Structure 1
Amino acid sequence: MITAYLTRRAAQKERVRILYRRALKDSLNWAVHRHIFYKDASDLRDKFEANKHVEDPDTIDTLIVEGEASFNKWRHPDPYIVPWAPGGSKFTRNPAPPSGINIVFDYGREDNA
């Protein structure tokens, strides 16, 4: 029984950690300037810290589900994507050359023999 309890608590901690990180990264999409982001990040941390003392596993599950629902409701519709990452504007802009094309890396250093 204690193993099941510890396993459930570990899963809850992981879900809370993932939710916090996703919400923190998403707040960067909403904040135009860093000073705005710092305030939003502090407010987000306060929301998570307010429920730090809760020990009942069922209450924790309820809080996690409510937090995930709130995150999904307020998630940014057009998040920032690093240009060279998948989904970014520069991703695969220069595709690999077709097969059969050889690239010469020693151009200009040919043997003059």
Structure 2
Amino acid sequence: MSVSTASYLARRAAQKERVRILYRRALKDTLNWAVHRHLFYPDADALREKFEANRNVEDIELIDRMIAAGEASYNKWRHPDPYIVPWAPGGTKFCRNPTPPPGIEIIYNYGREDND
């Protein structure tokens, strides 16, 4: 395997990873715009068709330009207030129970204390 072949394969692998990441982000963001599944599925199918239409492109420079255009389009149309799962960081229930003040002891073995 020559150096040019190895660099070509490495570049193609990096492009495939960038496309995979872009598709996953765009798909998750589509769910932010169409919260109900009956609205989400047609949008997800249209997104998949956009990616599948360019699946067989072989020109490396063209692929790089298409990825850059796709990332720019994603950044332009990204949802301004994405849905966050309530118990995830940034969600409404994340760490909502404050830590107890100092001096309050929490007994974890309640009912099983030693009767000394």
What is the aligned counterpart of 2:12 among 9, 12, 16?
Answer: 9
Aligned to 2:36: 33
Deviates more, 1:22-31 or 1:88-97: 88-97
Q: List aligned pairs for 1:77-88, cutoff 5 A.
A: 77-88=80-91
What is the aligned counterpart of 2:54 among 18, 34, 51?
Answer: 51
TM-score by length of 2: 0.89
What is the number of residues matched between the two proteins?
A: 113
- Identical amino acids, percent of aligned pairs: 73
The offset of 1:108, in angstroms, is: 2.1
The offset of 1:99, in angstroms, is: 6.0
Give the whole-Å Cα distance in 2 for the aligned partners of 1:6 and 1:101.
Answer: 61
The letter of the residue matching 1:52 is: R
The letter of the residue matching 1:33 is: H
Q: Structure 2: state its 5+ residue gaps.
A: none
Question: What's the secondary structure of 1:109's corresponding residue?
Answer: coil
The letter of the residue matching 1:29 is: N
TM-score by length of 1: 0.91
Aligned to 1:104: 107
